[in-house]
Chains A and B, each alone.
Chain A
C-alpha cells in the first residue's frame, strides 16, 4: 500500500495515530503535497458515503474534521502559504443572529482538505459583511450556515443583500445546517441546500467541475 493509500485508509478508519504517523513520514520524505490533498479528498468521499449509508454519524464527522484540521495545519506549516492552487474560493459564515459554529467549522475543514480556498467569516455575520467579502475575495461559492430556526430570516436577508449589490449572478449560494430543506432554500433564494457536509461537498464539487470545464 502506498503512503497515499495508507493515509486515505487511516482517515476513513478515523485512526488518529495512523494519520499522524503517515503524514509525518510523507512530509519527511517530501511527498507531493497534492498527494496528501488527494488522500484527504478520497478519505472524505468514503466517509461521506458511510455517513449517507448510516454507518457513520455526526460523531464521526467531528472526529474526521479534527483529523483534517491537524493535516491542514501541518501542510500550511510545511508550504507556508499557498500550498496548492485552489479548486475554487468559498466564502462561508453563520448568518446574523446565529452563533453556532460546529457544523460550519466541519464544512470549512472538509473544503480546505479538498483543496478549496475558504474565507471563513465566523458566526453572527451580517449581510453587509457577506457582500463585502464577496467583493474582496471574488468567490465562486457562498455558504450560509444556520442551526436555529431564527436563521431563516437572516439567510433571506443575506441573499437579498447580495442581489441588491448586483452580485447574485457572480456566485452560487448554498445554505447549510440542521434546519434547512428544499422549501427553506427556495424561500431564501439559494441555489442549493445541504443538511450534512457530504451533500454540501458534492454540490460544491459539481459547481467547481462546471467551472473547470468552462475554463
Chain B
C-alpha cells in the first residue's frame, strides 16, 4: 500500500475514534477489543495460549492477524499486570515506566509471583492466564503500610509475593531481576514491531497506560480480594487510609507513563492518551461503600486525567447498573465507559449523550450463537445508541473463548458495516 493511502486509512480510523469519544456519529461504529492472552486469538493464529504467554513475538503476530482480519480499530490488552513491583520501582526509576508493568508467562516463570497462574505452567497449554491474588498484608500490618506504602511494598510485600525475590539479598534474586530485565526488553521490542506493522496496515497507534483505582490495588495486590471486602465491613477506615496512601504513587505513574518525549509522541497517531482502568471491586460494593469510598477515589483519578488532557477508559466489571448514576458527576464527553454485563437499556437511558459507552457483545454469544444472532445483537446495540452515536462496539469480557466461531467474528464486522 502507498504511504498516502495508509495515511488516509489511518486518518479515517483516527477520526472515527475521536468523533465517537466526543459523542458524535462517525462513519462507522468503532470496533474495540480489550484482549489479553485469549484462546481464540491463539487458536486462530495456530498457536496455544501457552505460546502467546511465553513468546512475545507470537503474542504480537497473533494480535496483528486478529486486528487485520477483523478490522479492529482499537485493539488493547496486555498479557498480564505486574503492578506490585512496578508501582514502587517506577517511583525510583521513572524511565522504566510504563514498560515494567506488564507480566507475561515468561516473566512469571522468572519472578515466580504468587498472584497469577499461567498456561503451560500451573495450567493447561490452552487455558488462559488467571489472576488469583493472595493475602500479602495481614490486618495488623495496615498501619505500617499506611505510614509508608513504598517501604512496606519493597521490604515486605515483594519478598512475599515473588518466590524468586523471597530473599532479596541473594543470587537467586539478583539473577531473577537480570533475567526479568532481559525478558522485558524482548517483550518491548516485540510490541514495538507489532505497533510498526499495525501502523503499516493502516491502524492508528494510541498512547495507553493501565492503572488501578487504589482500592483495587489494595484488594488485588496487597490484601487479597475477599479480605478487602471484609475490611470494608469491619474496618473501613483502614482500607480507606491504605488506598489514600497509594493514590499519589498511582497518579504519578499515570502522569509519567503519558508524558512522553516529543520524539516518542511523534510515533503515535492519536495524541490524547487513554488511561485504562480495569475495575474489580466496583460491582461487589454496596451503595454506601461505593459512594463513600470507591467512587470518590475514582473521581480523583478521573479529574486528574481530564485536567491533564487524558481520556479515562473505565472497564466496569460485573453488573454495574446500580452505580450508573454516579457517572453523571463527570463533565460530559470526557470518558469511555465499558460495561461487562449491565442492563443495557438503563445504560442508554442514563449515559446516552453524556459519555461514550463501550461494550455490547457477550463473549459467550460468540460460542453459543449463530452469525444471525450476532448480527441481531450488533443491530440492537447500534439502534439503542441512535445509530451508534458515542458508542464503541466491544466484547463483554477480556477474553474470547477458544470455541468462538470464526463466522461469528466475521458477522461482527459485517454487521458493523451494515448497520452503522
Give the interface of A toward B (CB within 8 A): 14, 16, 54, 56-60, 62-63, 66, 96-100, 102, 124, 148-150, 152-153, 178-179, 181, 183-184, 187
Contacts and interface: CB of A to CB of B under 8 A. Distances in A.
Interface string B400-413: 11110000000000
Contact of B397 (A14, A58, A66, A149): A149
Contact of A183 (B229, B369, B397, B400): B369
Interface in B321-369: 322, 341, 362-365, 367-369
A43 to B, nearest CB: 16
B39 interface: yes
Nearest to A57: B286
Contact of A63 (B123, B229, B369): B229
Contact of B399 (A57, A59, A148): A148
A184 B341 CA distance: 15
A183 B376 CA distance: 15
A99 B368 contact: no
Contacts, number: 87
B285 A59 contact: yes
A99 B364 contact: no
Given A57-B286, A58-B283, A148-B397, A187 B130 contact: no
Contacts of A16: 233-234
8 contacts: A59-B286, A62-B284, A100-B130, A149-B399, A152-B368, A178-B341, A181-B362, A187-B368
Nearest to A188: B368
A183 B318 contact: no
Given A97-B124, A183-B368, A59 B322 contact: no
Given A66-B230, A97-B127, A149-B364, 14 more contacts: A56-B286, A57-B283, A59-B229, A62-B226, A62-B230, A63-B229, A97-B124, A97-B126, A98-B130, A99-B123, A150-B39, A150-B401, A152-B403, A183-B364
Contacts of A59: 229, 232-233, 284-286, 289
B64 interface: no
Contact of A57 (B322, B365, B403): B322
Contacts of A181: 362, 364
Interface in B285-304: 285-287, 289
A152 B399 CA distance: 12
Interface centre among B130, B230, B341, B400 (most CB of A within 10 A): B130
Given A97-B127, A124-B123, A152 B226 contact: no
Contacts of A184: 364, 368
Interface centre among A58, A96, A97, A187 (most CB of B within 10 A): A97
Given A59-B289, A152-B403, A183-B368, A97 B226 contact: no
A150 B369 CA distance: 15
Closest 5 CB pairs of A and B: A57-B286, A58-B284, A149-B363, A187-B368, A97-B127
Given A54-B322, A59-B289, A152 B283 contact: no
A178 B284 contact: no
B250 interface: no
B132 interface: yes
Nearest to B230: A66
A99 B132 contact: yes
A99 B401 contact: no
A178 B230 CA distance: 20
Nearest to A55: B286
Contacts of A56: 286
Contact of B401 (A66, A152, A183): A152
Contacts of B234: 16
Contacts of B401: 149-150, 152-153
Interface string B227-244: 001101110000000000
Contact of A150 (B128, B322, B368): B128
A106 to B, nearest CB: 10
Nearest to B286: A57
B117 interface: yes
Nearest to B234: A16
Contacts of A98: 130
Nearest to A54: B322
Given A14-B233, A124-B123, A102 B226 contact: yes
Contacts of A97: 123-124, 126-128
B225 interface: yes
Contacts of B363: 149
A196 to B, nearest CB: 10
Interface centre among A62, A181, A184 (most CB of B within 10 A): A62
Nearest to A156: B403
A210 B1 CA distance: 68
